[in-house]
Amino acid sequence: MFTKILIANRGEIACRVAATARRMGIRTVAVYSEADAGAKHVAVCDEAVLIGPAAAKDSYLRGSKIIEVAKATGAQAIHPGYGFLSENAEFADAVQAAGLVFIGPPASSMRAMGSKSAAKQLMESANVPLVPGYHGDEQDPSFLRQQADRIGYPVLLKASAGGGGKGMRVVERSEDFEAALASCKREAISSFGDDKVLVEKYLIRPRHIEIQVFADSLGGCVYLHERDCSVQRRHQKVLEEAPAPGMPADRRAAMGEAAVNAARAVGYVGAGTVEFIANQDGSFYFMEMNTRLQVEHPVTEMITGTDLVEWQLRVAFGEPLPKKQHELAIHGHAIEARVYAENPEKGFLPSIGTLRHMDVPLAVAFELGADSVNPAAVRVDSGVREGDAISPFYDPMIAKLIVWGADRTQALARMSQALSEFRIVGLATNIAFLKRLVEGEAFSSADLDTGLIERNQSSLFPPAAPAPLGALALAALALTNHETVHGAANDADPWSQARGWRMNGDYRRTLSFTDEFGDYRIGLTYRNSGWEIDLDKQRQRIELVSQNSAELALRLGETALHGCVRRDGDAFHVFTGGRHHTLTYNDPMAHAGEIEAAGGRLTAPMPGKVVAVLAQSGKDVKKGEPLVIMEAMKMEHTISAPSDGLVEEVLYEVGDQVADGAPLLAFKAA
């Protein structure tokens, strides 16, 4: 086996390849751009070499530089991951010419499948079923329109060289054909440098079903069954699962054999995916072949108990496929959700920023390469850690969340549970959207087709709403909790020492939070050994049921409620009921000075004890300088100068008890 490989990629896939290499005792060399110096993939590899500035064209797409690094570090092979150079035939050729092994198919197979039209011509001769259409060389607009008229509308125009859901146009009527063709060609030339298009029948409510194939260099070729990737936005995958719901065994075998024929027709070696578009009645047609490992390969690994990266390494080294077709059974059901830094409510626009908090669902170790599938599997493949940034330079994927269940129902339940444990603060994500998607009627009943998201707009995008009382109760309790824990480091749990909380009989305080809908003034009262919360005219008793670092479980009146609160400065991020509410705490301490300064006085924002007086009467102070420190609710609060000015008089001494709203000092702004 290889002893050292170079991983020509970044993020999640680079980390994933490194994990398998480590398990197999293979050393790894990472390459990275200036933007990725502190990235996870650099940390998990044995060596790392800087290859250029952030822009992909100056780093991860610099084939010659990467080959140079491989030679200099003594790597014997290059794993390209996906994206970047993975489907670049010139790169594969150059790797080979440098005396290194390209961990992927021969350049000739990539070339054969690189053009969608040429691939279709090839598939036609290999008897693989095709969508009715025209994929020849003639590109005259009136000829193409005749072809569209013959096929029957709606038709789909596709850039031959296209990928990633780009360069496609649906045409509904003959009259619209020419304008759509011109616009498709414009996008094709600008995105792919080639304006050749093909025309095919646009299927109504189709499913995207793809077959994982694997071939070795000794003539072996198998299929590892199908994945259903019908849940898409803008022709890009969002959820993927294996096996495809409702797939009869005979059709699975027929599609599997068609895919193996397709791979054999181009002399394929390594991991590849043959994508089909299927009608609801089950008839299926070849769409394209992706000549690389696919983002969604983990669902296949889970149901077949394989490690496809290990297979890639063995095949690239010249070994035979680890398993024969009859040894590849399906165990259970797996679902993958792509967690993206994006804003589903704003047309899935990517979001950039720092992952200030990242709670990842507890991954129940999934033994890659094990013979049997771990029935408790939850797997998270990610290339980022808390504190890392999602930059504008690369793909905004944060993680892939993959779950396994004995059947689809169990996998669905695990997916919704795991999604509620996935909490990110710092940028917009699609997590809440994924949860609605997975729990929604259409996906849970497997009513699948590529229009699922479009068709369910109203339930998938509920209008934003003000924070419910439950979310406010969680924020309020998290706040009082935080104060207690930070005020008395040793008695961590305030709930076990309610006595200390009671102060004088009923203790009441008012908290103020703000979100985009306005201000919430919440009353919190400690009464009869428990808390009550009120907002406007609602009043409910809160009972803490359980609590750990991740979750608070409450009873709010008669309702059971649970959620999690992550604090980021004054922002309280409340995760509950599948929603993420961001509430800004209006800290009376922080603002008391500013408000009161106008009247010349700095007042106590709540009842408490003066523990330090730093100001002196008659002295000038600078804005922000600490003047008095008070203790209340076991927490210290500092009252600072609201602006540059003069302390005219200090009204209390250390040890004095002061009432809520009492003036602490007379202050004159400069």
Catalytic (active-site) positions: 292
Q: What part of residues 44-63 is at the interface with ligand ADP (CB under 6 A)?
A: 56
Q: How far is the CB of 200 from ligand ADP (least distance, A)?
A: 5
Give the residue closest to ligand ADP by C-beta. 83
State yes or no: residue 169 binds ligand ADP (CB under 6 A): no
In our burial notation (b when 16+ CB lie closer than 10 A, e otherwise), range 462-498 reads: eeeeebbbbbbbbbbbbbbbbbbbebeeeeeebeeee
- Residues in contact with ligand ADP, counted by CB under 6 A, come to a total of 32
Per-residue contact string for residues 414-453; x = within reach of Mg ion by CB under 5 A: ----------------------------------------
State yes or no: residue 652 binds ligand ADP (CB under 6 A): no
Phi and psi of 267, rounded to 5°?
Answer: 60, 40
Residues 6+ apart with CB under 8 A from 565: 474, 475, 477, 478, 552, 572, 573, 574, 575
Q: How far is the CB of 516 from ligand ADP (least distance, A)?
A: 31
Per-residue contact string for residues 170-209; x = within reach of ligand ADP by CB under 6 A: ------------------------------xxxx--x-x-
Q: How far is the CB of 395 from ligand ADP (least distance, A)?
A: 3
State yes or no: residue 588 binds ligand ADP (CB under 6 A): no
- Residues in contact with Mg ion, counted by CB under 5 A, come to a total of 1
Which of 161-169, 371-379, 458-466, 658-666 is the region at the interface with ligand ADP (rule: CB under 6 A)?
161-169
Q: Which is nearer to ligand ADP, 340 or 585 (CB)?
A: 340
- Give dist(CA 240, CA 540) in Å, integer: 42
Q: What part of residues 474-503 is at the interface with Mg ion (CB under 5 A)?
A: none
Find which of Mg ion, ligand ADP, none residue 237 binds, CB within 5 to 8 Å per kind. Answer: ligand ADP
Find which of Mg ion, ligand ADP, none residue 200 binds, CB within 5 to 8 Å per kind. Answer: ligand ADP
Token pair for residue 573? 């991020």
Which of 265, 268, 261 is CA-nearest to residue 215?
A: 268
Phi and psi of 100, rounded to 5°?
Answer: -110, 165
State yes or no: residue 165 binds ligand ADP (CB under 6 A): yes
Q: How far is the CB of 84 from ligand ADP (least distance, A)?
A: 6
Phi and psi of 160, rounded to 5°?
Answer: -60, -40
Q: Which is nearer to Mg ion, 275 or 515 (CB)?
A: 275
Which of 162-170, 257-265, 323-331, 528-536 is the region at the interface with ligand ADP (rule: CB under 6 A)?
162-170
Q: Which residues pair with 240 in a beta bridge?
A: 336
Figure out which of the listed residues 163, 350, 369, 487 binds ligand ADP, where binding follows CB under 6 A. 163
Figure out which of the listed residues 131, 377, 574, 602 binds ligand ADP, where binding follows CB under 6 A. 131
Token pair for residue 171? 């045409």
Q: Which residues pair with 382 in a beta bridge?
A: 399
Which of 316, 313, 419 is CA-nearest to residue 362?
A: 419
Q: Classify residue 31 as exposed, middle or buried by CB count within 10 Å of its CB (0-12, 13-18, 19+).
A: buried
Beta strands in 409-481 (DSSP E): 423-425
Which of 108-116, 126-134, 272-280, 348-356 is the region at the interface with Mg ion (rule: CB under 5 A)?
272-280
Q: Which is nearer to Mg ion, 275 or 449 (CB)?
A: 275
Q: How far is the CB of 159 from ligand ADP (least distance, A)?
A: 9
Which of 274-282, 296-304, 318-326, 408-416 is the region at the interface with Mg ion (rule: CB under 5 A)?
274-282
Residues 6+ apart with CB under 8 A from 95: 63, 67, 70, 78, 101, 102
Which of 132, 483, 424, 436 is CA-nearest to residue 286?
A: 132
The full DSSP string for 401-426 is EEEEESSHHHHHHHHHHHHHH-EEES
Give the residue closest to Mg ion by C-beta. 275
Q: Which is nearer to ligand ADP, 393 or 501 (CB)?
A: 393
Q: Which is nearer to ligand ADP, 134 or 394 (CB)?
A: 394
State yes or no: residue 394 binds ligand ADP (CB under 6 A): yes
8 Å CB contact between 45 and 30: yes
CA dihedral 332, 337, 338, 343 (to 10 degrees): 170
Q: How far is the CB of 240 from ligand ADP (least distance, A)?
A: 9
Helix axes 89-97, 107-114, angle to 10 degrees: 170
Q: Is the peptide bond before 154 cis (omega within 30 degrees of 0)?
A: yes
- Give dist(CA 589, CA 598) in Å, integer: 16
- Residue carrying the six token digits 């967690």: 339
Which of 133-141, 246-254, 271-279, 604-612 is the region at the interface with Mg ion (rule: CB under 5 A)?
271-279
Find which of ligand ADP, Mg ion, none residue 294 binds, CB within 5 to 8 Å per kind. Answer: ligand ADP
Q: Which is nearer to ligand ADP, 117 or 294 (CB)?
A: 294
CA atoms within 13 A on the CB side of 99: 5
Q: How far is the CB of 275 from Mg ion (least distance, A)?
A: 5
Strands 27-33 and 4-7: parallel
Figure out which of the listed residues 54, 55, 76, 82 binds ligand ADP, where binding follows CB under 6 A. 82
Per-residue contact string for residues 224-253; x = within reach of ligand ADP by CB under 6 A: --------x--xxx----------------
Phi and psi of 175, rounded to 5°?
Answer: -60, -30
List, as own/partner pairs, every contact residues 142-148 make where C-beta atoms lie below 8 angstroms and the sequence separation is at least 24, other chains included: 144/177, 144/181, 144/197, 144/199, 145/174, 145/177, 145/178, 145/181, 147/199, 148/174, 148/177, 148/199
8 Å CB contact between 633 and 500: no
Residues in the chain, total: 670
Q: How far is the CB of 443 from ligand ADP (least distance, A)?
A: 16
Q: How far is the CB of 83 from ligand ADP (least distance, A)?
A: 2
Q: How far is the CB of 288 from Mg ion (least distance, A)?
A: 5
- Give dist(CA 158, CA 192) in Å, integer: 12
Q: What part of residues 256-285 is at the interface with ligand ADP (CB under 6 A)?
A: 275, 277
State yes or no: residue 288 binds ligand ADP (CB under 6 A): yes
Phi and psi of 29, rounded to 5°?
Answer: -115, 125
Q: How far is the CB of 450 from ligand ADP (least distance, A)?
A: 4
Per-residue contact string for residues 397-416; x = within reach of ligand ADP by CB under 6 A: x-------------------
Residues that bind Mg ion (CB under 5 A): 275
Residues that bind ligand ADP (CB under 6 A): 56, 82-83, 131, 156, 158, 162-165, 200-203, 206, 208, 232, 235-237, 275, 277, 287-288, 290, 294-296, 394-395, 397, 450
